[in-house]
């Protein structure tokens, strides 16, 4: 069994990249029906009447689809214990059906907790581009146990 990574195992500047496959129209409508039922996520004809010009994914679906591979490929192999929040999330352009996203995640900062010596905070920035155009950015914080404080 692979050893889980601790706070100390991540250096500022750590980078992780991957592609997110384009969504189908069905996937966009299914997600929107459950979580974000607005007309430009649900109905092509209604969407064409808006400035989007056609069906686009819920911004929350874009957020989740960009986050999930990072969680599966990196976070799940660590001693991460949750997150206090998101500092900033920007939807810079809509995500249209079939567009692949190129995701780039960088560790932009890290610091030990001032209250508890068994954990620290990792500041991540995620950028997702479609055809070299920035589509979503997200800055958020992950809490991770320290090896030192959990020996």
Binding site for a second copy (CB under 8 A): 34-40, 50-52, 56, 59-60, 63-64, 67-68, 71-72, 75-76, 80-92, 94
To a second copy, the closest distance from the beta carbon of 20 in angstroms equals 12
Helix (H, G, I), strand (E, B) or coil at 118: coil
Angstrom distance (rounded) from CA 112 to CA 120: 4
CB 97 within 8 A of CB 23: yes
Please say which residue, 13 or 57, places its beta carbon nearer to a second copy. 57
Angstrom distance (rounded) from CA 5 to CA 39: 43
Please say which residue, 2 or 88, places its beta carbon nearer to a second copy. 88
To a second copy, the closest distance from the beta carbon of 34 in angstroms equals 7
To a second copy, the closest distance from the beta carbon of 98 in angstroms equals 19
Please say which residue, 86 or 108, places its beta carbon nearer to a second copy. 86
To a second copy, the closest distance from the beta carbon of 49 in angstroms equals 10
CB 54 within 8 A of CB 78: no
Please say which residue, 84 or 109, places its beta carbon nearer to a second copy. 84
- Count of residues in the chain: 151
Angstrom distance (rounded) from CA 122 to CA 139: 10
Distances (CA, A) of 68 to 46, 64, 103, 127: 30, 6, 11, 14
CA 117 distance to own-chain centroid: 28
Please say which residue, 6 or 13, places its beta carbon nearer to a second copy. 6
To a second copy, the closest distance from the beta carbon of 47 in angstroms equals 10
């Amino acid at each position: 069994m692979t050893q889980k990574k601790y706070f100390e195992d991540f250096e500022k500047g750590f980078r992780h990249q991957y592609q997110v496959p384009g969504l189908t129209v069905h996937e966009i409508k299914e997600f929107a029906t459950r979580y974000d039922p607005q007309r430009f996520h649900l109905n092509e004809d209604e969407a064409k009447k808006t400035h989007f010009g056609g069906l686009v994914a819920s911004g929350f679906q874009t957020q989740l689809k960009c986050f999930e591979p990072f969680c599966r490929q990196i976070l799940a192999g660590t001693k991460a214990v949750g997150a206090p929040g998101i500092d900033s999330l920007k939807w810079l352009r809509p995500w249209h059906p079939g567009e692949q996203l190129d995701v780039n995640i960088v560790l932009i900062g890290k610091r030990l907790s001032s209250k508890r010596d068994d954990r620290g905070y990792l500041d991540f920035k995620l950028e997702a581009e479609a055809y070299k155009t920035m589509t979503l950015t997200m800055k958020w914080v992950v809490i991770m146990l320290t090896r030192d404080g959990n020996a």
